[in-house]
Structure 1
C-alpha cells in the first residue's frame, strides 16, 4: 500500500500514534477479508463487502495523512 510513501509510512508508524492505529486496523481488516474470502473464517458476501468499505475508508484516511505530511515536508 502506497509504495511511493514507504519511508514516510515507516516514520509515521513510529511517531504518530493515530496513524499507527489506522494502519494496524487497515492491515487487520485486510487479513480478515482474505480469511473470509478463502473460507478460513466464516463470512457472508455482505459482511465482506462491508469490511471492504471500512478498509477503503481507512485507506483514504491514511492517504490524507500521508499527503498532509508530504506537503508539510515532514
Structure 2
C-alpha cells in the first residue's frame, strides 16, 4: 500500500522494548535504525505526494530500506 508506515515499532511490535534498548546501547544499531527511519520517511513522502522520481532511484531507496530491515531484524533476533 502506498504511503504505509514501515517504522520498526510497527514492523516488529513484539520487539519494541528490545529496539529501545539497542538504540540506547548499540551505536551501530542506532545508526542503522536512524537510516532506516530516514529512508522510510523519504519513501512515504514520495509515495504520498507523487513527487516525480525515476523508477531506478525509487527502487534503490526501497531496496536499501529492505536490506536495512533485514539486518536490523537479524540483530533483534540474535
Root mean square deviation, CA, Å: 1.4
Counterpart of 2:73 (choices 60, 63, 72) is 63
Q: Can you give the 5+ residue segments of structure 1 that lack an aligned partner in the other structure?
A: 69-74
Q: TM-score, normalised by structure 1?
A: 0.82
Residues in 1 aligned to 2:13 and 2:41: alpha-carbon distance in whole angstroms:
19
Higher radius of gyration, 1 or 2: 1
Where in structure 1 do 4 or more consecutive aligned residues deviate above 6 Å?
none
Q: Can you give the 5+ residue segments of structure 2 that lack an aligned partner in the other structure?
A: 1-10
Q: What whole-Å deviation, never above 9, does each CA across 1:14-68 have from its counterpart, x for those lacking one?
A: 0000000000000000011111112365422222111111000000000010011
